[in-house]
């Protein structure tokens, strides 16, 4: 990721420049200008799609410009708006493919001070991350250059609006050991230096478990940034995944669908990531189940229909629970049913109400919110845990705990006047009917543990 593309003002100025370029690109295509026609053939973004993309982008820019940004938005802007995320994806693709000579390491990276890199280790050369800089940079490019970036944005918006068909079939059930070890991480797919540290720390914990002859599994709770393009799975996710190619026989890998994975329509999630041999057990399905003699683990897709269950997942969940009456249910999802920090979850709660009323959901782990929080029992869920702190930089919290939260991890990386929350993950060590849960930060240090009875 590039420092300038993580600056909100830079991105907004870039988006406005791209919007005007999209209008010009549509005009050039209508006139049959050769370069524009060639770009249309490669990106398959025709006149109508360019016009539609320009209109959508204008609306989104106006809305985002009226929104007050967070403090992190100067250096770590990760919008939850699909179109703004697509602009980030398109510009990153454009710079890496067409202007790679502009990309250099940041000062910390050049000096070998990896421990001081709070956000990214790459930036655009000799360019401060400001809106004015974006205007000046893009105005220097030829129409051919800016035309490519504009066509990529239009292509991304088309993919978002024409989603990949939802796979109604769940992955075949998988039996795991009563002494299994399962690594859980969420919102990890940024490829940033500290996210890579999380991957390395998980790999070390899995190797420890393998040395103890434990059955090992790893599950990502979703979100590959910025918007789930194939190039982002290739660069931000798969190279740093704790299970390396050829090791799928030792550790099974799973990845849930999430909102950022769907911002490009879910095409690369289903047809690229889930075709990687390491994720073969998922059978290109976004929902799955693992079970042993005591626990039934159910991975849900709450990203295809954001904060909801697409297709027949609710029916499938009920059937799986009914077929295992003596087992405790453990849910995994990207989105939360309830939160002390954000709104949302009503649709999930409604669809899961039968299972909740039957007292079948013992534990639930989710991501989406970029924090690690341990909840007190509520909604008939004894163990409700947010672990969305896998790879998105946010400022560390020092606030008192909100109602319903018994613990929030507040470990931090101090850099000057900034205090960045440490990333982390969870290790679940199954011991028959109990689960020993360890919460571990990016440095491999355990900061909280508990036993799920």
pLDDT tens, residue by residue, 39-73: 888 877 888 888 998 999 999 999 999 988 888 99
pLDDT score of 130: 57
For every residue of 32-75, DSSP letters joined together read: T-HHHHHHHHHH---HHHHHHHHHHHHHHHHHHHHSPPPGGGGT
User: Which helix (H) or strand (E) covers residue 87, if one does?
Assistant: helix 82-98
Is the CB of residue 369 less than 8 Å from the CB of residue 341? yes
Q: Of 243, 240, 176, 259, nearest to 207 (Cα)?
A: 243
pLDDT score of 353: 96
258 C-beta neighbours (distance < 10 Å), count? 31
User: For residue 89, how many C-alpha atoms fall within 13 Å in the half-sphere facing its CB?
Assistant: 35
What one-character DSSP code corresponds to residue 189?
B
Is the CB of residue 152 less than 8 Å from the CB of residue 400? no
296 C-beta neighbours (distance < 10 Å), count? 22
pLDDT tens-digit series, residues 400-415: 999 999 999 999 999 8
pLDDT tens-digit series, residues 247-267: 999 999 999 999 999 999 999
Q: Is 412 exposed, middle or buried (0-12, 13-18, 19+ CB in 10 A)?
A: middle
For 386, residues 6+ apart whose C-beta sits below 8 A from its C-beta are: 336, 339, 365, 366, 367, 368, 369, 371, 372, 373, 375
CA separation for the pair 152, 148 (Å, rounded): 6
CA separation for the pair 381, 363 (Å, rounded): 6
Query: In this predicted structure, which of 281-285, 303-307, 343-347, 374-378 has the lowest mean pLDDT?
Result: 343-347
pLDDT tens-digit series, residues 386-396: 999 999 999 99
Q: Is the pLDDT of residue 142 over 80?
A: no
CA separation for the pair 273, 106 (Å, rounded): 30
Reduce the DSSP state of residue 107 to 3 states and report it: helix
Q: Of 13, 2, 28, 19, nearest to 144 (Cα)?
A: 28
Is the CB of residue 212 less than 8 Å from the CB of residue 436? no
Q: Is the pLDDT of residue 196 over 80?
A: yes
- Sorted by where each starts, the structural domains of the chain and their CATH numbers stand as 3-161 (no CATH), 174-452 (3.60.21.10)
Query: In this predicted structure, which of 150-159, 199-208, 239-248 has the lowest mean pLDDT?
Result: 150-159
Q: Is the pLDDT of residue 317 over 70?
A: yes
Q: Is 127 exposed, middle or buried (0-12, 13-18, 19+ CB in 10 A)?
A: middle
| Band of residue 216 on the pLDDT scale cut at 50, 70, 90 | very high
Query: What is the arithmetic mean of pLDDT over 210-222?
Result: 98
Query: In this predicted structure, which of 115-124, 177-186, 284-293, 423-432 has the lowest mean pLDDT?
Result: 115-124
CA dihedral (388, 390, 395, 398) positive or negative: positive
């Amino acid at each position: 990721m590039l420092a300038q593309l993580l600056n909100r003002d830079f991105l907004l100025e870039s988006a406005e420049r791209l919007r005007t370029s999209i209008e010009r690109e549509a005009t050039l295509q209508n006139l049959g200008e050769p370069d524009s026609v060639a770009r249309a053939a490669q990106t398959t973004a025709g006149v109508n799609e360019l016009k539609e993309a320009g209109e959508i982008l204008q609306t989104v820019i106006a809305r985002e410009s009226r929104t007050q940004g967070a403090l992190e938005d100067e250096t770590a802007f990760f919008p939850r708006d699909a179109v703004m995320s697509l602009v980030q994806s398109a510009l990153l693709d454009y710079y890496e493919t067409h202007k790679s000579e502009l990309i250099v390491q940041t000062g910390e990276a050049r000096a070998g001070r990896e421990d001081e890199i709070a956000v990214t280790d790459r930036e655009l050369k000799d360019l401060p991350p400001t809106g004015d800089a974006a205007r000046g940079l893009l105005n220097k490019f030829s129409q051919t250059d800016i035309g490519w970036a504009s066509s990529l944005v239009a292509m991304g918006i088309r993919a978002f609006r024409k989603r990949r068909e939802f796979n109604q079939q769940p992955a075949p059930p998988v039996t795991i050991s009563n002494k299994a070890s399962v690594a859980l991480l969420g919102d990890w797919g940024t490829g940033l230096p500290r996210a890579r540290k999380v991957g390395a720390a998980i790999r070390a914990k899995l190797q420890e478990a393998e040395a103890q002859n434990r059955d090992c599994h790893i599950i990502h709770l979703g979100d590959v940034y910025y918007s789930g393009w194939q190039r982002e799975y290739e660069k931000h996710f798969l190279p740093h995944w704790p299970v390396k190619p050829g090791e799928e026989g030792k550790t099974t890998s799973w990845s849930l669908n999430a909102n950022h994975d769907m911002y490009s329509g879910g095409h690369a999630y289903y047809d690229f990531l889930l075709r990687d041999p390491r994720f073969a057990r998922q059978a290109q399905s976004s929902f799955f189940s693992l079970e042993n003699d005591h626990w039934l683990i159910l991975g849900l897709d709450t990203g295809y229909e954001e904060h909801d269950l697409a297709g027949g997942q609710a029916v499938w969940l009920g059937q799986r629970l009914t077929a295992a009456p003596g087992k405790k249910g453990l849910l995994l999802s990207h989105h939360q049913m309830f939160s002390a920090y954000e709104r949302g979850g009503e649709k999930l709660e409604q669809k899961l109400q039968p299972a909740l009323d039957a007292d079948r959901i013992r534990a639930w782990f989710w991501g989406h919110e970029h924090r690690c929080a341990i909840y007190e029992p509520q909604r008939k869920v004894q163990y409700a845990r947010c672990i969305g702190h896998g790879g998105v930089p946010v400022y560390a919290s020092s606030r008192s705990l909100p109602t319903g939260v018994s613990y929030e991890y507040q470990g931090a990386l101090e850099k000057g006047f900034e205090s960045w929350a440490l990333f982390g993950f969870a290790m679940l060590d199954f011991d028959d009917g109990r689960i020993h849960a360890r919460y571990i930060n990016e440095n491999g240090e355990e900061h909280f543990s508990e036993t799920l009875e």
